[in-house]
Amino acid sequence: MVIEKLRAMVAALGTLAAVLPAVAHADEAAVKKAVEAFVGSPSAVESVAKVPYGGLYEVLMKSGELVYTDDKVTFLLDGRVIDTKTRRDVTAARMAQLSTIDFGTLPLDQAIKQVRGNGSRVLVTFEDPNCTYCKRLAKELTQVKNVTLYTFLYPILTPDSTEKSRTIWCSKDRAKAWNDWILEAKAPPSGPKCDSEVVDRNVELGRKLRINGTPTLFLADGRRIGGYVAAAQLEEALAGVTK
């Protein structure tokens, strides 16, 4: 009798294995629907994926946030998952993967270009002219050699940020106007108006890339660095770029 029961269980498990992919897909759809119902928005979730630990589901919000839940959405876990065997921050690694972009799609003609030294390395930044940490970053960037910098004016802090960005973009020498302001607080002189819609396009681009703060940096391999970074850390990051 016991053997027959075991055989029946094995057969049942075989049948279950055959339908697991479909069930998992259905569960992910159900989790997505339940989370959106909880937050009160029918389009708040970007994706849901079952993860191989803790019976959890990874929920990526369209805001860029990453949370976890179970198959019944009985809780939402907003925090970091640490692998206790390897001491690896699973959440941080996943966020780094999710925040990587296709660098080749960036419209670099919408950025202020500066070539320092031989310009062999490439770094993109999204910056608000009134951002305190952008001003600190600018001082660090003066120490980074042999780099081509692309600065996207990304005014998201105040209306004045937008006005300053437009004035800098319309300056005869955009790089000088930017450096005078961000490094030495010399306001860009008001000159003739120009087509500064590029500033609006930068804001739209930044939102698509889920850039919620400045400065935000991108390396040539698409990796994202959020916030102020010291020159030594930038050098290390640039040295690790693989294309």
Residue 16 has pLDDT above 90, yes or no: no
Q: Tell me: the pLDDT tens digits for 71-130?
A: 999 999 988 889 888 998 888 888 888 889 999 999 999 999 999 999 999 999 999 999
For the record, the structure tokens of 84 come out as 């206790």
> At residue 35, does pLDDT exceed 90?
yes
Buried b vs exposed e over 34-59: b needs ≥16 C-beta within 10 Å? bbbeeeeeeebbbebeeeeeeebbbb
Q: Are 110 and 152 in contact (CB under 8 A)?
A: yes
The pLDDT of residue 141 is: 97
Place of tokens 């396009």: 201
Per-residue pLDDT at 75: 92
Question: Which residues lie below 8 Å from residue 174, measured CB to CB, with a gap of 6+?
Answer: 112, 168
Summarize pLDDT for 179-206 with one digit per residue, the tens: 999 999 999 888 778 989 999 999 999 9
Residue 73 tokens read as 């959405």
Whether pLDDT at 1 is above 70: no
Separation in Å, CA 154 to CA 108, 117, 193, 201: 13, 26, 19, 9
Does the pLDDT of residue 62 top 70, yes or no?
A: yes
C-alpha 43/C-alpha 50 separation (Å) is: 19
Q: What's CA 128's distance to the chain center, in Å?
A: 17
Question: Average per-residue pLDDT in the chain?
Answer: 87
